[in-house]
Structure 1
Amino acid sequence: MSYQNILVETNDRVCVITINREAKLNALNKDTLAELHTAFEAAFADAQVGGIILTGAGKKAFVAGADISELTELNTYSATAMATGVHDDVMNLIENGPKPVIAAINGYALGGGLELAMAAHIRIAADNAKVGLPEVTLGLIPGYGGTQRLTALVGKGKALEMILTADAIDAPTAQTIGLVNQVVPADELLPKSEEILRKILSRAPLAVANAITAINAAGTTDGYATEISGFAGCFNTTDTREGIAAFLEKRKPVFTGK
């Protein structure tokens, strides 16, 4: 597949998707969002891919926000359609995907960029990164899941503070409040992200997928039922039998994803 706005490279089960609009600080326009949808669907379906790292080209920005020029002609109806499409085709696709996704935040992650990072399962930030949701400075509110995912990650009070003030915060602060998992020097960002992903890939793939589903259901009326279903379903897999046997035999398990 040939892409105009992103780069996709897979090496030994790790797929790296890079938003490649460095001159525009990797801003999310409709074409980039469409390509992200295609790339993630392909990666999730590809048996040769175990997990995905999502990052931005260059050193300045992961994604500095949405492409504001595309917002000028929107009205209530077209904005509803656009936001719904982004939710379904990109943000929810990533969050509910069966394979782990790590956002490697290599600079500014603002507005839609932070919303994209929050859709990933784990966030690793460079020490020079800054994150925030500045939409109210445009007379808007976050529309790609920001009000919901930020609240889930950092709590209602901090989410209100960040969204209502529109202030960006630095990477160490983001880690302190639970918005990012780890902060590392910029030149260690991708190696650390790959290290974490490869550790996940050494675990049972079907169990990882079930864990993602159950954690995403946390706080819903179906949360505990989803966990029980996922737990019980693992006993239909070869990997569960292998994992238990390996533990009892004091050896390293060999998982096959079956």
Structure 2
Amino acid sequence: MAANGSIDYLARDGRAYITINRPDKKNAMTNAMLDQLMDGYDRAEADDDVRVVVLQGAGDDFTTGHDLAEVGTEYGETTLDAKGRPRKPSQRARLLHDKRYIERFERVFKFLKPTLSLVKGYCLGGGLYLAEASDLVIAADTAKMGHPEQKLGLSGAAYFAAWEMMALGPRKARELLLLAQVWDAQTCLANGLVNKVVPLADLQEAGEEWAERIVRLPRDGIVMGKAATNLAMDSLGISSQFAYGPILHALATNVRYEADEYNFMKERRDKGVRSSNHEREAFYDKKEQE
């Protein structure tokens, strides 16, 4: 494993195992790791012997999504005007970045072969998008899934909002996003975020059982079945989320914070990622208790 994490790839017995490997950071992914992840899917799609991709995380967690240390600077460093005052990133810079960012999840969503995510521990933010983009999800009983990043001020501007409304229903999808709750495994199962829940000790075995069922299918049948699925998603309008997602996210990241609101970006700048993240959670927990 590289010092800043890695994406490990192993092809064997008709399967491509892609492992997010940064357990000391709960498998939080940098932009470099996200690019490596796409390389893994490219390799699997090009390999005719691979019939299914199994996505998993090293250690105790799936992934907590995009590394918060990179959040807030993804649109480039702040520039100064002629008088030395800071300028916000342009909308064109925001849209360009968000378009490239969502294309990674769209790549998984429209992958030409079946995909299976094995979720344990934390599966948050961009990690949840990866699970939602997968065809099948088996969760361990330790799984904790949600969009706590909504507390950064996004308030429901999610890349997979259309898919979540289809899978969970509009009411539960809005609950998941607006309340920024993290659901346990059984709540995820009850609301359609995962296919099944198994004890942690049985997660790999359960994944192998389903992978084996898939690899016994004919290669052409597998690919044509996935192509038909993608057409169905298009006909339902679900795939439109990849067109409007970058626009809404770019707007949502340009929110103005008022004096009584928690500004994660400002607090992170002044106090660092760990402290500001804890303070963010404490701020919302306090509000819930009042």
Q: Which is further off, 90-99 or 116-125? A: 90-99
Task: Return the match for 1:91 from 105, 129, 141.
Answer: 105
**Given the two structures, how large is their TM-score scaled by the length of structure 2?**
0.71
CA positional deviation for 1:222? 7.9
Matched, 1:208 2:222: yes
| Matched ranges for 1:62-101 at <5 A | 62-73=62-73, 74=75, 75=89, 76-88=91-103, 90-101=104-115
Matched, 1:130 2:144: yes
CA positional deviation for 1:96? 1.1
**Given the two structures, how large is their TM-score scaled by the length of structure 1?**
0.79
Q: Which runs of 5+ in 2 are unaligned?
A: 76-88, 238-290
Mapped to 2, the partners of 1:144 and 1:44 lie a distance apart of: 27
| Matched ranges for 1:87-126 at <5 A | 87-88=102-103, 90-126=104-140
Whether the aligned pair in 2 keeps the contact of 1:112 and 1:144 (CA below 8 Å) is: no
Q: When the two structures are aligned, how many residues end up with a matched partner?
A: 220
Task: Return the match for 2:204 from 190, 196, 199.
Answer: 190
Mapped to 1, the partners of 2:116 and 2:236 lie a distance apart of: 26
Q: Which runs of 5+ in 1 are unaligned?
A: 224-258
Change in 2 beyond 3 A, CA 1:143/1:14: farther
Mapped to 1, the partners of 2:152 and 2:236 lie a distance apart of: 37
Counterpart for residue 166 of structure 1: 180
Counterpart for residue 48 of structure 2: 47
Mapped to 2, the partners of 1:144 and 1:215 lie a distance apart of: 22
Structure 1 residue matching 2:145: 3-state secondary structure: strand
Task: Return the match for 1:145 from 155, 159, 182.
Answer: 159
Counterpart for residue 32 of structure 2: 31
RMSD: 2.1
Mapped to 2, the partners of 1:220 and 1:38 lie a distance apart of: 25
Counterpart for residue 8 of structure 1: 9
Mapped to 2, the partners of 1:150 and 1:162 lie a distance apart of: 9
Structure 2 residue matching 1:83: 3-state secondary structure: helix
Mapped to 1, the partners of 2:158 and 2:20 lie a distance apart of: 17
